[in-house]
Amino acid sequence: MYKSKLLQLLLLLFLFPVSAQLMSVNEESLLNNTILINYISLAKSLNQDIDGLMSKVIKWRHYFHQYPELGNREFRTSKRIEQILTDLGLEVQTEIAYTGLTAYIRGEHPGPLIALRADIDGLPVTEMTNLPYASTEKTTYQGNEVGVMHACGHDGHTAMLLGAAKILSLNNDFDGTVYFIFQPAEEGGGGGLEMCRDGLMHRWGILVCM
């Protein structure tokens, strides 16, 4: 079912939540978009797996939300990501640009190398939401004591990428190899550049990163 569908599947995993939102806004015009319809039919065929996965992704998201860390200090976050990827049976490369990680899944068939990336750092913002998983973390930033919060959605990005890793680890009947990149210090810390300087793209011959 997944053969030759790698790109579509990856796009689906990242774009379907967005496309579903758009559908409620302008369903008719989007239904004329055949590419989007492909995503939707693919989503239906994967629904069973995705439904089972959703509660895990939400749980992971809540964990990362509750324990945010600033750029280049994502030690706890990095450990948790490593643990989840290891539990999926993946080989994990750690400490890339200090706290970055990568892992990969080879499909059963030869094909392109594609990388999916999430950022993992939080912001020096004090959370005032009263959510059960609200952050109460504090740290020192530019000489001041500040709260720390995932106020930019990196908790969601990280959990979604772990979800993609999980679903692809269960369904590797696809063409090619997928790399999962967990990038530290996106918020002005230059973590992406540091990972590239650390040889990230060249080391594995990654041509495209989404």
- Pick between residue 23 and residue 152 the one whose CB is nearest to Zn ion: 152
Specify the residue, 143 or 188, whose C-beta has the smaller distance to Zn ion.
Answer: 188
Q: Which residue is nearest to Zn ion (CB)?
A: 152
- Please report, as residue ranges, which positions from 151 to 170 form the binding site for Zn ion (by CB under 5 A): 152
Least distance (Å) from Zn ion to the CB of residue 71? 10
Contacts of residue 158, defined as CB under 8 A and 6 or more positions apart, other chains included, come to 60, 61, 64, 77, 81, 118, 119, 120, 182
Smallest gap from Cβ 52 to Zn ion, in A, equals: 29
What residues numbered 81-110 form the site for Zn ion, per CB under 5 A? none
Query: Which of 85/118 has CB closer to Zn ion?
Result: 118
Name the minimum Å distance from CB 83 to Zn ion. Answer: 23
- Considering beta carbons, is residue 43 or 152 the nearer one to Zn ion? 152
Minimum CB–partner distance for residue 113 and Zn ion (Å): 26
Residue number, 155 or 167, with CB nearest to Zn ion: 155
185-189: long-range contacts, CB 8 A cutoff, minimum separation 24: 185/71, 185/72, 185/74, 185/97, 185/98, 185/99, 185/121, 186/71, 186/119, 186/120, 186/121, 186/154, 187/70, 187/71, 187/119, 187/121, 187/122, 187/123, 187/152, 188/71, 189/71, 189/72, 189/121
Six-digit token string for 42? 């693919």
**Nearest to 148, CA basis, from 77, 54, 58:** 77
Q: Which is nearer to Zn ion, 53 or 152 (CB)?
A: 152
Among candidates 146, 140, 132, 167, which has minimal Cα distance to 61? 132
Contact pattern from residue 114 through residue 153 relative to Zn ion, giving x for each residue in contact according to CB under 5 A and a dash for the rest: --------------------------------------x-
Size of the site for Zn ion (CB under 5 A): 1
Binding-site ranges for Zn ion (CB under 5 A): 152
